[in-house]
Structure 1
Amino acid sequence: MGRTETLKSRLDAKGAKWMTWRDREVVADFGDPAREYEAVRGGGLGLVDRSGRDTLVLAGEDAVSWLQGLVTSDLRELVREGSGQLTSAVNLVGRLIAEARVLHMPEMLVLDLEPGVLADGFLSHLKRHLITEDVQILDRSAQTSRLGIFGERAAAFLQKHCTLAHPMGSRAMFEGTWGSLGDHDIVVQRVPTTGGPGYEIACATEEVADIWDLLMATAELTPVGFETLETLRIEAGIPRFGVELTEERIPLEANLDHAISFTKGCYLGQEIIARLDTRGTPARLLRTLVFEGGAAPEVGAEVEVEGAKNAVGEVVSSVWSPRLNTSIALAYIKRKYNEIGDEVRVETRKAIVQPLGYPLDSTRDSV
């Protein structure tokens, strides 16, 4: 894990309350989740410790062509240094092994993954498929720390306080750049985590506490914890590996079409993905469920429909949505029952099926 004791003391000084997620220690909140939420959605800026994430570096003459055969996206689109994309890796039957943000850096590809993905099998999966290719696979998780900045003014903030190779406002989703903050080298990548402007700063682990201090010294940022970030993410309908994205899921079910190329040619699991795409709608889809008040449903709760003998879906994440002032959930729901506007029941309560990101899209003009 790329978090130092010095950074941990900085977080503690801000009132950090700790929890464990995927065997990593994360800050649950800083004592006032409502304030943290407002910092991101209300025109301010939130600063999040993201140091638990995995970082993988691929270098060598064959790195791109080799990885091209193991992921669903088309890496040939990453022509320019600073270009980036979302990708996924699947097994022979099309089930997810990993999801990663890829960034083309000078002479290397950098993959940013959820905590523990490398140790849980993705690193060994990659190494099994390396034969004679000129590829160096480097797990840099312990040497890399990450901090996230989220909010409407995030790009302007970074442009003001950092020296960067590319203007932040010109970066498309998953694109990045590199430069410095003070005397510290940084890499910045645009990410969709909250459904609004967001960027993650990667730096050397031993420098992260100093970078935290420099960022907080601007007096423009509010520390934000894991639980608020999850609320923001679920409102935005951004699936997360280890939560909505698991080894039993197929990327198409989770609306990861933007992480799949249907024209790139062969890759591991491609035949199953192509067959599902040709057939049309997958057997189930990830949807947002909107309830009429009440507490958020339990993860694992069954989604039911009147007249159906068995459950037609399952809740995989849920929160109270400040944006809608009601509880919402993300759920996988079977075909025939997942049309937008359909009525379902969870824990005896009515819910309406909506697209991913509905809490933001339905209120964007009124906020």
Structure 2
Amino acid sequence: MTSTAPAGPTPQRRTPLDAVHDALGATMTDFAGWRMPLRYGSESAEHRAVREAAGLFDLTHMGEIAVRGPEAARALDHALVGFVSKIGVGRARYTMICDDNGGILDDLIVYRLAEDDFLVVANASNAAVVAAELLDRAGDFDAEVTDLSEAYALLAVQGPRAVEILAPLTGLDLDAVKYYAADRATVAGVDVLLARTGYTGEDGFELFCAPGDAERLWNALTEAGAGHGLVPAGLSCRDTLRLEAGMPLYGHELTTEVTPYEANLGRVVRLDKPEDFVGRDALAAREKEGPRATLVGLRSPGRRVPRAGYAVLDPASGDTIGTITSGAPSPTLGAPIAMAYVPSGSAAPGTRLAVDIRGSAEPVDVVELPFYRRA
């Protein structure tokens, strides 16, 4: 008979920039098993820098899965809700992977790098689940699924001055790179996949590179951005930026309990594609019946902040009609904002609702999403 010591806690994964964040005095936090920078100083200052100039993010915690082979496009058409085979080479598309009931397993960006070569980028908390699901769903196709998350570091430069900062570091014509497009490039002598994508509501670029090149690239971007207002930015401001931009966060706005239709993202579901796909019947039924609830934006006329998990109330009856999914003070708008699922009959902009904030019914108004849209 043998015995083994009980397993200890799983150690936090660290990005190649972990020492850089410590040197910058970042407040670190655990996020999906990763040790990540929450903020470097003032999160509101970092937020405003991204809106007005630029922020530099370490996003290495995201997952990257390659799908390659003669039937890679068909495999992804089957696995995901989008019409992946319609993506042009060098372009990207926002899509989702759903379960048989139409519930959202994750939201994704798919890059088509070549005719038979796709890169699927998943959220950190779901990367392993997405990789396993893609492997299973591609089983009947001539396609190979490989989890390449360990092979990539991911940096992002986000903000209106992103082009000015990156341009001197690369021979690529950045003005010719369209939104949701990607190209192989050399930046500061580092080979990268450069994509004009982001999660802040601003213009910007995401740069996929080898982990061993991450610190060199970070330092070059920092130096190039010194005269343009670039600051290192953490997860905290990334959350308020995406909230202002009305972008959903998995585990908050997106879960297996909702379909893309409840999340106002029915546009990503392509029921018209010839390839059958997982969740199709359930999603077709949901489209026909209409969503069970609707994701809305809420803005408070007061100063108290609706936070995730707080109950949304009918102000006349006091009955709970929904739940806040995300909420924070908006540095850009100067008011508390939130997103919540409410009945469709209460979802029209201008509707006055209430939120239970520690026992007090505080008024909020339904507003159109996004809260913020760049010029």
Provide the TM-score with structure 1 as the length reference: 0.91
- What residue in structure 1 maps to residue 131 of structure 2? 123
| Residues 161-172 of structure 1: pairs in structure 2 closer than 5 A | 161-164=169-172, 167-172=173-178
- SS of structure 1 residue aligned to 2:138: coil
- What residue in structure 1 maps to residue 277 of structure 2? 267
Q: Distance in 2 between matches of 1:155 and 1:186?
A: 16
Which among 3, 7, 10 is matched to residue 15 of structure 2?
A: 3
Q: Distance in 2 between matches of 1:191 and 1:257?
A: 21
- What residue in structure 2 maps to residue 74 of structure 1? 83
Runs of 4+ in structure 1 off by over 4 angstroms are none
- What residue in structure 2 maps to residue 323 of structure 1? 332
* Residue type at the aligned position of 2:337: I
- SS of structure 2 residue aligned to 1:211: helix
Which among 292, 298, 312 is matched to residue 321 of structure 2?
A: 312
Deviation at 1:149, TM superposition (A): 0.8
Q: Assess, with a 3 A threshold, how the Cα gap between structure 1 residues 133 and 11 changes in structure 2: closer, same or farther.
A: same
Deviation at 1:307, TM superposition (A): 4.0
Q: Assess, with a 3 A threshold, how the Cα gap between structure 1 residues 169 and 286 changes in structure 2: closer, same or farther.
A: farther
* Residue type at the aligned position of 1:18: M
* Residue type at the aligned position of 1:357: P
Deviation at 1:172, TM superposition (A): 3.7
* Residue type at the aligned position of 2:233: V
- What residue in structure 2 maps to residue 197 of structure 1? 203
Which among 230, 233, 253 is matched to residue 224 of structure 1?
A: 233
- What residue in structure 2 maps to residue 249 of structure 1? 258
- What residue in structure 2 maps to residue 103 of structure 1? 111
- What residue in structure 2 maps to residue 344 of structure 1? 353
- SS of structure 2 residue aligned to 1:272: helix
Q: Assess, with a 3 A threshold, how the Cα gap between structure 1 residues 67 and 74 changes in structure 2: closer, same or farther.
A: same
Q: Assess, with a 3 A threshold, how the Cα gap between structure 1 residues 97 and 251 changes in structure 2: closer, same or farther.
A: same
- What residue in structure 1 maps to residue 152 of structure 2? 144
- What residue in structure 2 maps to residue 187 of structure 1? 193
* Residue type at the aligned position of 1:23: G
Q: Distance in 2 between matches of 1:158 and 1:151?
A: 12
- What residue in structure 2 maps to residue 65 of structure 1? 74
Q: Assess, with a 3 A threshold, how the Cα gap between structure 1 residues 156 and 258 changes in structure 2: closer, same or farther.
A: farther
Structure 2 unaligned spans of 5+: 1-12
| Cα deviation 1:16-54 (Å, max 9, x = unaligned) | 110112222211100122321221112x11101111111
- What residue in structure 1 maps to residue 91 of structure 2? 83
| Residues 8-47 of structure 1: pairs in structure 2 closer than 5 A | 8-42=18-52, 44-47=53-56
Q: Distance in 2 between matches of 1:247 and 1:131?
A: 23
Deviation at 1:60, TM superposition (A): 1.0
| Cα deviation 1:268-305 (Å, max 9, x = unaligned) | 111222222233x4121111110123232231111011
Q: Distance in 2 between matches of 1:104 and 1:51?
A: 20
Deviates more, 1:47-56 or 1:270-279: 270-279
Preserved CA contact (<8 Å) 2:182 2:195: yes
Aligned length: 354
Task: Say whether 1:153 aligns with 2:130.
Answer: no
- SS of structure 2 residue aligned to 1:214: helix
Q: Distance in 2 between matches of 1:257 and 1:170?
A: 30
Deviation at 1:259, TM superposition (A): 2.1
Preserved CA contact (<8 Å) 1:156 1:168: no
Provide the TM-score with structure 2 as the length reference: 0.89
Preserved CA contact (<8 Å) 2:50 2:158: yes
Q: Distance in 1 between matches of 2:107 and 2:98?
A: 9
Q: Distance in 2 between matches of 1:63 and 1:333?
A: 38
Which among 324, 342, 355 is matched to residue 368 of structure 2?
A: 355
Q: Distance in 2 between matches of 1:171 and 1:338?
A: 37
Q: Distance in 2 between matches of 1:50 and 1:311?
A: 37
* Residue type at the aligned position of 2:168: K
- What residue in structure 1 maps to residue 122 of structure 2? 113
- What residue in structure 2 maps to residue 294 of structure 1? 303
Q: Distance in 2 between matches of 1:19 and 1:339?
A: 37
Q: Assess, with a 3 A threshold, how the Cα gap between structure 1 residues 309 and 328 changes in structure 2: closer, same or farther.
A: closer
Q: Distance in 1 between matches of 2:188 and 2:162?
A: 18
Preserved CA contact (<8 Å) 1:64 1:75: yes
Q: Distance in 1 between matches of 2:87 and 2:195?
A: 14
Q: Assess, with a 3 A threshold, how the Cα gap between structure 1 residues 156 and 270 changes in structure 2: closer, same or farther.
A: farther
Q: Distance in 1 between matches of 2:140 and 2:293?
A: 40
- SS of structure 2 residue aligned to 1:138: strand
Deviation at 1:132, TM superposition (A): 4.3
- SS of structure 2 residue aligned to 1:117: helix
